[in-house]
Amino acid sequence: MATKNGKILVVDDNQGIRRALEILLPLRFAEVRTLPSPSTLVATLEQFRPEVVLLDMNFTTSINTGNEGLYWAGEIKKMFPEVEVVLFTAYADIALAVEGMKRGAFDFIVKPWENDKLMAVLTAARDKAQKAMGRDGRSKAAMTGTGINGVTPDPLQEGGFFWGTTPVMRTIRRTVEKTAPTDATVLITGENGTGKDVLAREIHAHSLRSEKPMVVVDAGAIPETLFESELFGHVKGAFTDAYTDHVGKFEQADGGTLFLDEIGNIPLHLQAKLLRVLQNRSVVRVGGTQARPVDIRLVCATNMDLEALVREGRFREDLYYRINTVHIALPPLRERREDIVPLARQFLGQFARKYHRALTGLAPEAEALLTAQRWSGNIRELQNCIEKAVILSDGSELTAKDIQRDARSGPGMTDTGNLLHNAAEEERLIRQAMNHTDGNISAAAKILGVSRPTLYAKLKKYGL
């Protein structure tokens, strides 16, 4: 039987074709994703990181020149050179095929296609891409630095995790280094935007299951009526519209890792069914009778306080202990301020390449402003902030003016207008702002998001 691995992204405006390929391609690919147009293509490539893109040539009604497909093929190869592009067209134009190959396309498929030929081309493209990538699908060029086993990929890349230099992150890194090669169940907690999903991918990437799929489930987004079907699968005829057998997430993850994100959102009555599967390590599809063994490594994540939910009777205690063999609590970004500027620089580089901006770095006042913020949305908020700044910037480096921030998002601002409850951290931020502005109180107050009188009082308080 042919090997089933890798990821493929299909971009085609024909819904029937997308549905057909969603059935056919899982025979050879571990993960398949489809898009009806290239409008979100770049963002999807950044997040999904496929080895292969099957790209339609035409997306605009009544325009069948193939120019759209050729343009996007060129853009993909420019931004993601190791991703292989296979062009998909209903017009067997050899000149168009040659032009596509000149722009870096791997091959050319004519609609209507022959299944065997299509699969042969796509798997060959996947195999070529995997030779140019690391084991977990990351670019070899990115696999240098100071991450686990010397790997620090870009923080925007799937599976990449920015460790930074703070003591708490060094401790977490040591825990991951010891835990990743085992099959221990891991519970990752932390505020929204702290990178729980990215850390889960890092654990999978450095596990003994890294060559098998990691299946991601947003547990809080599954309707209760579909919970069992999505996780455990169903058989044909199990309910209305169950026209075929459906393989659930547990079976899809067999041999690999199952990541249950937002596990705290699972209703109490469904937690018992999840616990039973975890205990028995087998699933029974909805409408079926056969128990199907599953071999998975479970990683869970939540931004909720599960211990509090257990005390309130809203989360099963036995399930909590089942998923909590190793607990990793990711700190909010405001508790690892030393990492804010290095993270911002990496995001700047990523978005500068993405949007073709010639930016060399961050101005000192921009670094001070970034460091001073609370970042209630954590790394995700910082990422969005830098992306917006890169898009709107005019100069050769990002300045404080480019870092568009709401007035209410000041550096640790509280409802009373103070900076921070932590005096040592507050003094450090004030010193940094004053140093960056060469003692200019007005400029420092602007960076810190407070009035001049408030800053005067703080300077007097700390003897600065």
- Each residue of 276-304: pLDDT tens digit? 999 999 998 988 888 899 999 999 999 99
Say if residue 186's pLDDT is above 90.
yes
| Residue carrying the six token digits 């293509």 | 41
pLDDT at site 135: 41
For the stretch 22-67, pLDDT in tens is: 999 999 999 999 998 887 888 788 888 999 999 988 765 444 455 6
For the cut 80, the answer to whether the pLDDT of residue 119 exceeds it is: yes
Token digits of residue 197: 């999903």
How does DSSP assign 170-183, residue by residue?
HHHHHHHHHHTTS-
| Across 16-26, average pLDDT | 92
Range in 101-105, 110-114, 234-238 with the lowest mean pLDDT: 101-105
Per-residue CA distances from 330 to 49, 116, 192, 403 (Å) = 24, 47, 10, 26
CB atoms within 10 A of CB 43: 10
Query: What are the φ and ψ backbone dihedral angles of 94, each rounded to 5 degrees?
Result: -65, -35
Q: What is the pLDDT of residue 72?
A: 84
Domain 7-131, CATH homologous superfamily name and number:
Response regulator (3.40.50.2300)
DSSP notation for 301-363:
EESS-HHHHHHTTSS-HHHHHHH-SEEEEPPPGGG-GGGHHHHHHHHHHHHHHHTT----EE-
- Give the integer Cα–Cα distance in Å for 318 and 260: 17
Q: What is the DSSP letter of 380?
A: H
Q: Does domain 148-329 have CATH number 3.40.50.300?
A: yes
pTM of the model: 0.57
Domain boundaries, the chain: 7-131, 148-329, 334-462
Classify domain 334-462 at the CATH topology level. Answer: Helicase, Ruva Protein; domain 3 (1.10.8)
- Cβ distance 55 to 11 under 8 Å? yes
- Note whether 137 and 60 are within 8 A (CB): no
Structure tokens at 444: 């420092």
Residue 295: φ, ψ to 5°: -115, 100
What integer pLDDT is reported at residue 401 of this predicted model? 85
- Percent over 90 (pLDDT), the chain: 36
Q: Which two tokens stand for residue 213?
A: 């799929």
pLDDT, position 408: 36
Higher pLDDT, 314 or 77: 314
If pLDDT is split at 50, 70 and 90, which confidence band does 142 have? Answer: very low
State the DSSP string of 216-282.
EEEGGGS-GGGHHHHHH-B-TTSSTT--S-B--HHHHTTTSEEEEETGGGS-HHHHHHHHHHHHHTE
**Structure confidence at residue 40 (pLDDT):** 80
Say if residues 379 and 333 touch (Cβ distance below 8 Å).
yes
Banded model confidence at residue 157, pLDDT cuts 50, 70, 90: very low
- 7-131 and 148-329 have identical folds: yes
- Whether the Cβ atoms of residue 24 and residue 99 lie closer than 8 Å to each other: no
| 44 vs 35: CA distance, rounded Å | 9
State the DSSP code for 142: G
In whole angstroms, what is the distance from residue 216 CA to residue 129 CA? 23
Hey, is 86 helix, strand or coil? Answer: strand
Q: Which residues of 296-329 are buried (b: 16+ CB within 10 A; e: fewer)?
A: bbbbbbbbeebeebbeeeebbeebbebbeebebe
C-alpha of 233 from chain center: 25
pLDDT on residue 422: 58
| Pairing assessment for the beta strands 282-284 and 291-293 based on DSSP bridges | antiparallel
More confident residue, 193 or 100: 193
Rounded to an integer, what distance in angstroms lies between the CA atom of residue 42 and that of residue 353?
Answer: 12
* Closest listed residue to residue 57, CA positions, set 11, 24, 17: 11
Q: Kindly report which listed range (76-80, 134-138, 324-328) carries the lowest average pLDDT score.
A: 134-138
